[in-house]
Amino acid sequence: MPNKKLAIFTATGCRACENAILDIHYQVSSLARFADIAFWPYVSGSQWKDLEAEDRLDVCFFSGAIRTGADREAALKLREKSRIMVACGACAAFGGMPGLINLPQGSTERGQLQQTTDKGQQSPEDGKPELPPLEPGVSALSQIVKVDYFVPGCPPTQNFLWAAIQSLVCNGQSPARISFAAARLPEAISQAIASGILPPGGTLFAGEKAVCASCSRVKEEKRFDAYKRPYEAYESSGRCLLEQGLVCQGITTREGCGGLCTAVGQPCRGCFGKAEAVFDPGAKMVSAIGSTFDSEDAAEISALVDDFVDLAGTFYRYTLPTQCALLSKPSKD
């Protein structure tokens, strides 16, 4: 079997997803047995002309959100060249943290930014590179081009990234190595991976349930009586964080990480996107927190609610452009 041709690219993002690909440790060397890396600006310094020289790519791992015109162009180019497009990481899959600019409050700043860049483009100074124009808002990759697979996470966890690489690049030629991820993936997908066939299109390389299902903490009666920020309460093990007054989003978030953050006392931030059964992560969190307030007095409740800051930014931290029922726009299928 000829080696697969691979492209790895980050649009607007921090490149932690590309680091995560390097972070599959010694498996990086076995990756080289199955794939030729045709285009990877971050690591091999590839140029766009290298991509144009390629006739066809097999798999493209695209990370980062679409924020600028250059990002959009890159997405379109890579989609055209690649047989399989993978949205790698929360930004590409859901819009990620840059996507919070789509909140209505951001609109004034957005207008100003747009103006300054437009002005800059009218009179480019000689010899200086031009900044690409900003898009009016941030989009996830799936809202620009058709995406075949998603690997969520910020950054994606090693096991699912390896599972994705195994199934899309290596065709499951060493299935034993993915047993950990396979155990957490929905059965149909893990079976497909193990038998070396491609999982169905649109597959998310993550679990199905909520993070709470795999979180190691003890869940008792939920009674929310004070809002705390993560630095105000730290408990490395023991009781459920939501019960302690921390805004832990495990309840709405897709499982798969195995409760990495909650295990060390950090409330879940929701980087795997919403769980299958959740309609809207913000509404679900309002329901989860609100209905457990330990009070029957309206004034007391509204005093408690006053302590909460930046609800939309917290509940849709990674998912605003795609999973917020009110502010998201449809994907390209």
Partner 1 sequence: MSDFEPKIIAFLCNWCAYVAADTAGIARYKQKPNVRVIRVLCTGMVDPSYVLKAFAAGADGVLVGGCHPGDCHYISGNFKAMRRAPLLNKLLEEMGVESGRFRLEWIAASDAPQYAELVNRMSDEVRSLGPFSPSIIE
Q: Which residues contact partner 1 (rule: CB under 8 A)?
A: 102-105, 107, 136-137, 279-280, 282-284, 286-287, 289-293, 295-296, 298, 301-302, 305, 308, 310-313, 315, 324-329
CA distances from 325 to 52, 97, 282, 312, 329 (A): 38, 17, 9, 12, 9
Q: Which is nearer to partner 1, 47 or 302 (CB)?
A: 302
Q: Which is nearer to partner 1, 189 or 304 (CB)?
A: 304
Q: How far is the CB of 88 from partner 1 (least distance, A)?
A: 24
Q: How far is the CB of 129 from partner 1 (least distance, A)?
A: 27
Q: Which is nearer to partner 1, 216 or 302 (CB)?
A: 302
Q: Three-class SS of residue 145?
A: coil
Question: 151-181: buried (b, 16+ CB within 10 Å) or exposed (e) per residue?
Answer: bbbbbbbbbbbbbbbbbbbbbbeebebbeeb
Q: How far is the CB of 4 from partner 1 (least distance, A)?
A: 36
Work out the angle at residue 304's Cα, subtended by the Cα atoms of residues 301 and 310, and round it to the nearest 5 degrees: 125
Q: How far is the CB of 59 from partner 1 (least distance, A)?
A: 30
Q: How far is the CB of 294 from partner 1 (least distance, A)?
A: 9
Q: Which is nearer to partner 1, 82 or 252 (CB)?
A: 252
In 109-223, which ranges are E strands?
134-139, 149-151, 203-204
What's the 3-state SS for 31-80? HHHHEEEEECHHHHCCCHHHHHHCCCEEEEEEECEEEEHHHHHHHHHHHH
